[in-house]
Amino acid sequence: MPAAKGAKWWLYVLECHSGVLYTGIAKNVEARFEAHRNGKGAKFTRLNRPVAILGKTSLATKGQALRAEYALKRLPRAAKLRWCAAGLGAFIRSRSTRAGRRIWAH
C-alpha cells in the first residue's frame, strides 16, 4: 500500500538493554519500538531488546531516511549519542552536503 501523501519517514536511535544502540527508519517510531520490544522487529533487536527511544527526526521521503540512516550508522557510538543529545535535526543539517552534493534534505 503506498504511503499517504505528506506522510513522513522517521530516523530513530534506540538504546538496547545491553547498552548497544540500534538505528533504524520507520513511518511510526512508537509502533516500531513496540514491535522491537515484543520481538517482532529486526533480528538484532530480537537478541538485544530495546529499552528506550534516544532520539528521532522526520524526513520527507524514504530515500532521504535511508541515506540518513546509512550516514548515522557509520558514526562511532559517541557521535551517535551527541547526535541524540543535540537533536537529530542538527545532525541532518550538518551532514546535508558532502563534496558539494546534497545527500538528503531536512
Domain ranges of the chain: 9-99
Which tops the pLDDT comparison, 8 or 90?
Answer: 8
- The string of pLDDT tens digits covering residues 31-74 is 999 999 999 988 999 999 999 999 999 999 999 999 999 999 99
Summary mean pLDDT of the chain = 83
Classify each residue of 35-54 as buried b or exposed e, where b means 16 or more C-beta atoms within 10 Å of its C-beta. bbeeeebeeebeebbbeebb
Architecture of domain 9-99: 3-Layer(aba) Sandwich (3.40)
Q: Write the single-letter amino acid at 50.
A: P
Does the pTM surpass 0.85? The reply is no
Note the pLDDT of residue 105.
41
Cβ-Cβ contacts under 8 Å for 57 (sequence gap 6 or more): 10, 11, 68, 87, 88, 89, 91, 92, 106
